[in-house]
Structure 1
C-alpha cells in the first residue's frame, strides 16, 4: 500500500527534499518582515534618543558653551568625553574617591554624581581653569613645593578640593584640613604633603 503523503510528493523527490524546500520558502516569506521590524526598531531608537536630548547652556572655565545632551549624561562624562577636559579624573565613578571634584558656582562637587542637564546656567571650573595662562594657581605651586602627590591621578581632585577647603574657611588647622579633605582619597598616601600645601596657601 502506498503512503498518501509519499504519493503526493513530486516524482523523484524524497520527504527530506520536500521539507528542505518548504523551510526555504518559509524563510523567504519571513525575511521582509524581519527587515521591517529591524528598521522600525532603529527608527524608534533614533526618535527616542532625540527625545532624550535636552539643551544645556553652561560656563566652563570662563567660556560659555551650549549643547544638546542626553539626559542620562553625567557632568563628568560631558567634561571628559565631549569637552576633552580630561584633567577631571574618573576614579570610582561612585562619589567615593573625589578624583572628579570640580567647582560649580564656587562650590566643590563630585562631577560623577550630578547629571549635566542639572547644571544649566551654572559656572563650572575644572582643574584646567585654575591657572592664569602659564601662571599656576598658588595651590598648584604649593602641591609641587610640598610634594603633595606621587602618581598624580588624584591630584586634580585634591587641588580642587583644597582650593574650596580654604574658600569655605575650613583650613584653620591641620585637624580641620584633614576632616574637610577626607572625601578625597590618595592611594599613594601623600596626605602629609597635601595638608602642608593647604596650610601654606591658607597662611
Structure 2
C-alpha cells in the first residue's frame, strides 16, 4: 500500500468483499432509508481509507472494524438529526402566512405617523400612554391627571379618527378600536 493505485485496488477489493453485507447492515440501522445507508457506507469506506493502520491489524478480516465504524457513524448521524430541528416541507411553507416586506412596513409606519400627527395633542397623549407605553386606563388617567372616563373616550375617538385618516386600514383600526374598548372596560372594573 505504498502507492495510490494499491490503495485504490485495496479499497475496491474491500468494497467488493464487504460492501453488500455492510450496506444491508446499514439499511437496517437506517430503517430502510437507502440513501442514508449508501451515504453511511461511503463514509465508512472513507474512514477505512483515512486509517490505513486498520489494514495492518492482527485480525484476519476487516469486517468487524468496518461494522463497528459503520454502526458508530449511523448512531452519530441519528443523534445529529435528532438534535437538529425537523425540516419543513414545501407544503407547510406555502400554508404559512407571509410576513410583510420591510419596505411595506416602513410605508405603513409613515402612514400611521402621519395619521397620528393629525390628532389633537390630548388624543395623541392618551394613545401614547396606552399603546406605546403600555399603561392601563387607570395608570394613563393618573399620568395625565384626567379622569379614567376621559381617557376611555379620548382613546375611542382617537382610534376612530385614525381609522378615517388611514385609508385601507379601516378593518385593522376597527379591531384596534374594539380592542381598546375591551381593554378600557376590563381595566375600569
TM range (shorter): under 0.3
TM-score between the two structures when normalised by the length of structure 2: 0.25
Larger Rg: 2
TM-score, normalised with respect to structure 1: 0.24
Q: Which has the higher strand share?
A: 1
Higher helix share: 2
Higher relative contact order (CA 8 A, sep 6+): 1
